Amino acid sequence: MRDYPSPPFPSQPQPVPGSQAKMQPYPDCGEQTYTGSGRLQDKIALITGADSGIGRAVAIAYAREGADVAIAYMDEHDDAKETARWVEAAGRRCLLLPGDLAQKQHCQDIVEKTVGQFGRIDILVNNAAFQMSHETLEEIDDDEWVKTFDINITAIFRICKAALPSMPRGSSIINTSSVNSDDPSPSLLAYATTKGAIANFTAGLAQLLGSQGIRVNSVAPGPIWTPLIPSTMPDEAVQNFGSKTPLGRPGQPVEVAPIYVLLGSDEGSYISGSRYAVTGGKPIL
């Protein structure tokens, strides 16, 4: 077992949305450690928020498992190019799709461009998210609340709807929820609320799409060391991030990727409507 970093971490404030290259310790997305075994051979995956963090780890794992990958991200071009470099180093094709998922047209565009490049979508990973930390309700302005919902849940609805005609039987949709859907952090009120919505959307959509042979599941990560943390949370929380889990540390993105591989693979052919916790020991009941 690898000895992953434990807090306390150094002070490292960043502007939103954060850069993985500036994080200390540098997140492990499996660049040097993930080994594939052909479980997604020749599948086509569209992953949102794949420039860094969990999305990058999933993109690397998918490529090493044999998939071509389309990466949707906001404007973190350097991080996205680094992800693409690892995908292409695995011998797979990579399509970069920058833009704002809060915009309806962009949600449709990333699907259209992915299908135009690769012909179909076998795995759709809705992973992009926005959060900000606030200690009072009064601090959350209306525009930020709406933006959080537009990116975190409305975009998922729009992307799924746009992608469905290009997803054959046996395809898989995987949505990133959070431990916050069960144990909401009051300082992440808007974010936690959207993550509860994602869990319910996933469970309902799985029932709607079952007859079409398309599976829908969600993953509920606990505290995972990604650029979202130093760019959106108070410095003290960053320095002690993950310390309250039973394992006493945050998870690394590479530790989340394997469940996305299972759910995207044919080995998960009877898994649908479920939610999988990757929380360092904190139960989701």
How does pLDDT run across 195-243, given as a tens digit for each residue?
999 999 999 999 999 999 999 999 999 999 999 999 999 999 999 999 9
pLDDT (0 to 100) of residue 96: 98
Cα atoms in the 13 Å half-sphere on the side-chain side of 11: 3
Does the global pTM surpass 0.85?
Answer: yes
The class of domain 25-223+251-275 in CATH terms is: alpha beta
Cα atoms in the 13 Å half-sphere on the side-chain side of 154: 15
* pLDDT averaged over 10-residue windows placed end to end, the chain, 285 residues: 90 92 95 96 98 98 98 95 98 98 98 98 98 95 97 98 98 97 93 97 98 98 95 93 96 98 98 96 84
Q: What is the four-CA torsion angle of 62, 66, 67, 69, rounded to 10 degrees?
A: 70
Q: What angle do CA 150, 252, 285 make, to 5 degrees?
A: 65
pLDDT (0 to 100) of residue 284: 83
Residue 197 CB contacts under 8 Å (≥ 6 apart), including other chains: 149, 152, 153
- Of residues 34, 191, 260, 276, which has the active-site annotation? 191
Residue 229 and residue 214: Cα distance in Å, rounded?
33
pLDDT (0 to 100) of residue 17: 86
Closest by CA to 18, choosing from 281, 230, 265, is 230
191 catalytically annotated: yes
The model's pLDDT over 16-33, given as tens digits with 9 standing for 90+, comes to 888 999 999 999 999 999
Buried/exposed code over 119-156 (b: 16+ C-beta within 10 A; e: otherwise) = eebbbbbbbbbbbbeeeeeeeeeeeeeebbbbbbbbbb
Residue 115 CB contacts under 8 Å (≥ 6 apart), including other chains: 121, 166
Q: What angle do CA 126, 166, 259 make, to 5 degrees?
A: 35
- Whose tokens are 């963090």? That residue is 53
Whole-number mean pLDDT of the chain? 96
pLDDT (0 to 100) of residue 1: 65
